[in-house]
């Protein structure tokens, strides 16, 4: 357990509503990531952060925004949820070991259903 929590764990919402998912870590790691997992696609990177207020886009960033105002929290926002965003969302952190890209530690996931 790398001290990562995600909230909520489950959410059902309607198309067009805004949704914010929260990832919280307790170990002050620099790097945080948001992925979505869908059948047949494995995990795909949405956005990531390499420090407070430092974020960048991943492979499937359209329709998503992120914010990181403090080290321990990384928020993922769906400005106007669509049915195609129904998925399981995972947050991950990575320790900062300089140039080496080391393992990531994953949270328990948030299952989001958009009706």
Q: Which residue, among 21, 26, 15, has the nearest Cα to 46 in the 3D structure?
A: 21
Per CB under 8 A, the list member of 3, 20, 24, 43 interacting with other proteins is 43
Which of these segments, 14-22, 44-52, 62-70, 77-85, binds other proteins (CB under 8 A)? Answer: 44-52
What CA–CA distance (Å, rounded) separates 93 from 82?
27
> Which residue is it, tokens 């207020």?
53
Among the listed residues 106, 112, 114, 115, the single contact to other proteins using CB under 8 A: 106
Q: Which residue has the tokens 């993922």?
A: 76
Closest to other proteins by CB, 17 vs 112, is: 112
SS3 30: coil
- Residue 13, helix vs strand vs coil: strand
Q: According to the binding rule CB under 8 A, does residue 53 interact with other proteins?
A: no
Q: Which residues sit at the interface with other proteins, rule CB under 8 A?
A: 31, 33, 35, 40-45, 48, 50, 56, 58-59, 90, 92, 94, 100-109
């Amino acid at each position: 357990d790398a001290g990562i929590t995600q909230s909520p764990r489950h959410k059902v919402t309607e198309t067009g509503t805004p949704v914010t998912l929260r990832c919280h870590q307790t170990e002050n790691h620099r790097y945080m990531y948001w992925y979505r997992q869908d059948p047949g696609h494995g995990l795909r990177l949405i956005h990531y952060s390499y420090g407070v207020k430092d974020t960048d886009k991943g492979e499937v960033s359209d329709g998503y925004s992120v914010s990181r105002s403090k080290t321990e929290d990384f928020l993922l926002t769906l400005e106007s949820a669509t049915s195609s965003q129904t998925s399981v969302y995972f947050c991950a952190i990575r320790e900062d070991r300089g140039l080496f890209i080391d393992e990531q530690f994953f949270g328990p996931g948030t299952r989001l259903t958009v009706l």
